[in-house]
Amino acid sequence: MKGNEADRRVLSGMRPTGRLHLGHYHGVLRNWVKLQHEYECFFFVADWHALTTDYAETREIEQIVWDMVIDWLAAGVNPGSATLFIQSKVPEHAELHLLLSMITPLGWLERVPSYKDQQAKLKEKDLTTYGFLGYPLLQSADILIYRAGKVPVGADQVAHVELTREVARRFNFVYGREPGFEEAAETAVGRMGKKSQRLYRDLRKRYLEQGDGEALSRARAMLDEQANLSLADKERLTGYLEGGGRLLLPEPEALLTESPKVPGLDGDKMSKSYGNTISLREEPAQVEQKIRTMKTDPARVRRTDPGNPEQCPVWSLHKLYSDADTRSWVTEGCTTAGIGCLDCKKPVIDAIVAEQDVMRQRARQYEEQPDLVKAIISEGSEHARDQARETLDVVRSAMGLGYR
């Protein structure tokens, strides 16, 4: 793995809204499973986020949370590779949220598109609350508390990552300019070995004098490897590289997940609120029954009517699940009425059932022993807390609250 700590670290959260379905699998979880091998990943259940809109119905949240974690595990998210935790088990998120709220102008929050959009969409709920307005800032705290450089999100969340960048920048600007910064940075340079000192100065000069970006990333990477520097010194030296003050909170970047279109049973996007889903741990008989009754090209009324796959949601599933041979069999058979829709659906049913066999198997032990899930989460939450506390120490001191 290359780059500095932040560039290697991925954080993402998911609201507990109910049982996960194929839309979540192809849109989010498959990507998490891939990322967990490439980055240091933190994935969490955003239970406080759920409260920002569903504060009035919290009775089922606990069950939903545990089921969601089992769905993650079933999909192949591996607690040996990624840190899995629950937001409310890491109260440091809340403290950072509070501290960041001090420097966040109201206008920044009111301008986040989801604020007005969701209020208009969820009319039955009163979302003129403090918690709802602050929800994107809570998300900023989620990200910044781990100093995560990469945040895999869908397009609807990019504005929140953007807000996070602005908040981090403002924080660094307001609190990163300690008196005597240059001297502190020079002292920190002196704490490195002779060879590293020389390399650091050389790379810094190349960056500051020639704007050499390669030198900047090399210098960041070498700082990261310095075992004998405190986190505070690392920040100083990172900030010093760019000439300014300490870089207290790194600005994250959205990793835009390109999610394939997963059609629901009625042809609309698969979504819980449309009631058109196939859940991740659906029984095979249910999968079969749901797909057999799934919408097809409306032009194929009778078996003898030719169809057009492009007009058919089943075709979108073929694009996700079938190989080239099967797909040309579909195109040929559909457009010539050579096959019936039930024939066409068979390979999709088989592929989904086979994919889910693995998931149901993985899930079984957790369903039978819920304590295993709790142990994974408490271990993950502990590890997350350790990381969160480090950041919070830096933040508190930078804000003048470092007294004990």
Q: Based on the shown chain and the rule CB under 6 A, indicate whether residue 29 belongs to the binding site for ligand TRP.
A: no
Q: Based on the shown chain and the rule CB under 6 A, indicate whether residue 143 belongs to the binding site for ligand TRP.
A: yes
SS3 for 289? Answer: helix
b/e per residue 348-385 (b: at least 16 CB within 10 A): bbebbbebbeebbebbeebeeeeeebeebbeebbeebb
Cα–Cα distance between 29 and 19 in angstroms, integer?
13
Tokens for 205, please give them: 């000069």
Q: Based on the shown chain and the rule CB under 6 A, indicate whether residue 376 belongs to the binding site for ligand TRP.
A: no
Q: Based on the shown chain and the rule CB under 6 A, indicate whether residue 276 belongs to the binding site for ligand TRP.
A: no
In the list 5, 9, 12, 384, the residue contacting ligand TRP (rule: CB under 6 A) is: 12
Q: Based on the shown chain and the rule CB under 6 A, indicate whether residue 165 belongs to the binding site for ligand TRP.
A: no
- What x/- string results for residues 338 through 377 when contact with ligand SF4 is judged by CB under 6 A? -x-x--xx--------------------------------
Segments in 76-224 forming alpha helices (H)? 92-101, 106-111, 113-121, 130-133, 135-144, 158-175, 181-190, 194-210, 213-224
User: The tokens 């003048």 sit on which residue?
Assistant: 400
In the list 10, 22, 46, 112, the residue contacting ligand TRP (rule: CB under 6 A) is: 46
Choice between 89 and 346, CB closer to ligand SF4:
346
Q: Based on the shown chain and the rule CB under 6 A, indicate whether residue 35 belongs to the binding site for ligand TRP.
A: no
Choose among ligand SF4, ligand TRP, none what residue 143 binds, the Cβ cut-off being 5 to 8 Å by kind: ligand TRP
Cα–Cα distance between 314 and 297 in angstroms, integer?
9
Pick from 111, 106, 105, 114: which is nearest to 49 by CA?
A: 114
Site size with ligand TRP, rule: CB under 6 A: 13
User: The tokens 């840190």 sit on which residue?
Assistant: 83
Sheet (strand 40-45) strand order: 82-86, 40-45, 9-14, 150-153, 253-256
Q: Based on the shown chain and the rule CB under 6 A, indicate whether residue 291 belongs to the binding site for ligand SF4.
A: no
SS3 for 182? Answer: helix
Q: Based on the shown chain and the rule CB under 6 A, indicate whether residue 296 belongs to the binding site for ligand SF4.
A: yes
Q: Based on the shown chain and the rule CB under 6 A, indicate whether residue 348 belongs to the binding site for ligand TRP.
A: no
Choice between 307 and 380, CB closer to ligand SF4:
307
Cα–Cα distance between 309 and 328 in angstroms, integer?
11
Tokens for 339, please give them: 């096959």
Instruction: Supply the minimum distance, in Å, between the C-beta of residue 213 and ligand TRP.
Output: 27
In the list 4, 83, 139, 316, the residue contacting ligand TRP (rule: CB under 6 A) is: 139
Choice between 185 and 270, CB closer to ligand TRP:
270
Query: Checking DSSP bridges between strand 150-153 and strand 253-256, what pairing results, if any?
Result: parallel
Cα–Cα distance between 146 and 384 in angstroms, integer?
8
Q: Based on the shown chain and the rule CB under 6 A, indicate whether residue 21 belongs to the binding site for ligand TRP.
A: no
In the list 8, 9, 15, 234, the residue contacting ligand TRP (rule: CB under 6 A) is: 15
In the list 40, 67, 71, 142, the residue contacting ligand TRP (rule: CB under 6 A) is: 142
Q: Based on the shown chain and the rule CB under 6 A, indicate whether residue 263 belongs to the binding site for ligand SF4.
A: no
Cα–Cα distance between 361 and 367 in angstroms, integer?
10
* Exposure on the CB side of residue 350, measured as CA atoms within 13 A: 9
Q: Based on the shown chain and the rule CB under 6 A, indicate whether residue 251 belongs to the binding site for ligand SF4.
A: no
In the list 232, 297, 349, 377, the residue contacting ligand SF4 (rule: CB under 6 A) is: 297
Q: Cα torsion at 114, 133, 157, 320 (round to 10°)? A: -70
Choose among ligand TRP, ligand SF4, none what residue 40 binds, the Cβ cut-off being 5 to 8 Å by kind: none
Instruction: Supply the minimum distance, in Å, between the C-beta of residue 164 and ligand TRP.
Output: 8
Choose among ligand SF4, ligand TRP, none what residue 232 binds, the Cβ cut-off being 5 to 8 Å by kind: none
Going by C-beta distance under 8 Å and a sequence separation of 6 or more, which residues neighbour residue 260?
A: 26, 27, 319, 320
Choice between 269 and 364, CB closer to ligand TRP:
269
Choice between 187 and 328, CB closer to ligand SF4:
328
Cα–Cα distance between 117 and 113 in angstroms, integer?
6
Which stretches of the chain bind ligand SF4, using CB under 6 A? 296-297, 300, 307, 309, 312, 314-315, 330, 334, 339, 341, 344-345
Which stretches of the chain bind ligand TRP, using CB under 6 A? 11-15, 46, 49, 139, 142-143, 151, 153, 157
